[in-house]
Amino acid sequence: MRIGLIGIGKIANYQMQAITHTLGIKLTDAHDLDPVKSEELPGSVQFFNDFDQMLKKSTADAFLVSTPTGTHFEVAMKIIEADRVAIVEKPLCTNQEQMDALMTAARTRKLPLYTVFHPSYGREVDWWREQRDAQNFDLGELIGFESCFADPYYIDGKLTLGAIGKAGAWIDSGISSLSVLSRLIDVGTMSVYDGRMTIVPSINCAQLQGLALLSFKSADKLGYGMIDTNWTLGKNYKTTRLRYQSGIVELDHAKEYGRLYLHGQEGLTFNLATDKPRLVNHYCGVFANLTEMHSKGEDNKELSEALHRLLFDALKR
């Protein structure tokens, strides 16, 4: 699979490393509004100053959109309207109307559209899926969860450099948490019943903090969960706790740890980190999944629609 990269920023560096570790995928072309960014590319990659020229001339099978969140809709729509395939960093876009327009445009042209949900490929998430499916621990049914995705993007009353390119705490991290949960819970049974967003008009972002309360079905019973996204805690803290009848599973997405607390027993910690950075591990999972889907002519439109609907529902509550 040949990839054209659009936006050579912070995340693109991890994506490029992961591409070199994944069989069956190759970076062939790239474009950024800032031509200086071409210096970060390997010599084998062709840089285009002009996006329209890239869409016309590139032989890439698909274009990976890694530009700031607020530009995803416009850039992805341009790719689709050129009858080419878009692979878009999460979040796909910033409101329901944009999502509907992108999905309609891709479906009308019978084009795949893939959203990149990198946090859902965390090694700790894969670890717990394997343990659960192999029934290695007897925890009973899942009854609830709490997930916190915090980044130090608001310090001393100001947004930090890390916030550049992001839309807001809920828009950027709510989708991360939802994508992790979708690999552990049937997303079709999930619904949002409350959303609480902290919006400060003088601070240039959509939300400084956002919280959603959700319900889901587990073994025909209703379970409840909470997602808290927060830029004001001053720390990189990303953890999902799954509460089962007989214990708790804690997935530390920042440290790549899994922890298991069976009621009445000592906790067990599993360090799942590798010699590669956490984000490279995530994108190795993304690209393995992407190349597999591409070879079968599949995409993740339905998953993306379901997750973004929950994301935007929380904004309306």
Q: Does 11 bind ligand NAD (CB under 6 A)?
A: yes
From residue 12, how far is each of 191, 193, 273 by CA, in Å? 33, 35, 21
With respect to ligand NAD, which residue has the nearer C-beta, 29 or 89? 89
What's the min distance (Å) between Cβ of 78 and ligand NAD?
9
Q: Does 10 bind ligand NAD (CB under 6 A)?
A: yes
124 in the Ramachandran plot: left (φ > 0), alpha (ψ -120 to 50) or beta? alpha
Q: How far, in Å, CA of 187 to CA of 310, rounded? A: 9
Q: Does 66 bind ligand NAD (CB under 6 A)?
A: yes
Q: How far, in Å, CA of 291 to CA of 296, rounded? A: 9
Among 1, 6, 55, 92, binds ligand NAD (CB under 6 A): 6
Residue 19 near residue 279, CB atoms below 8 Å: no
What's the min distance (Å) between Cβ of 157 and ligand NAD?
22
Q: How far, in Å, CA of 290 to CA of 298, rounded? A: 9
Q: Does 37 bind ligand NAD (CB under 6 A)?
A: yes
With respect to ligand NAD, which residue has the nearer C-beta, 117 or 244? 117
What's the min distance (Å) between Cβ of 279 and ligand NAD?
7
Applying CB under 6 A, what is the total number of residues that bind ligand NAD?
24
With respect to ligand NAD, which residue has the nearer C-beta, 1 or 87? 87
What's the min distance (Å) between Cβ of 139 and ligand NAD?
30
Q: How far, in Å, CA of 127 to CA of 226, rounded? A: 22
Strands annotated E in 32-174: 46-48, 62-65, 86-89, 113-116, 142-150, 154-155, 158-159
**Minimal CA–CA distance to 252: which of 96, 122, 107, 70?**
122
What's the min distance (Å) between Cβ of 178 and ligand NAD?
14
Among 4, 5, 18, 32, binds ligand NAD (CB under 6 A): 32
Binding to ligand NAD, residues 163-192 (CB under 6 A): 164-166, 172
Q: How far, in Å, CA of 33 to CA of 241, rounded? A: 40
Binding to ligand NAD, residues 87-146 (CB under 6 A): 89, 118
| Structure letter (DSSP) for residue 70 | G
Show the tokens assigned to 32.
């950024």
Show the tokens assigned to 290.
């992407």
With respect to ligand NAD, which residue has the nearer C-beta, 132 or 276? 276
Q: By CB under 6 A, name the binding residues for ligand NAD.
A: 6-12, 31-34, 37, 66-69, 71, 75, 89, 118, 164-166, 172
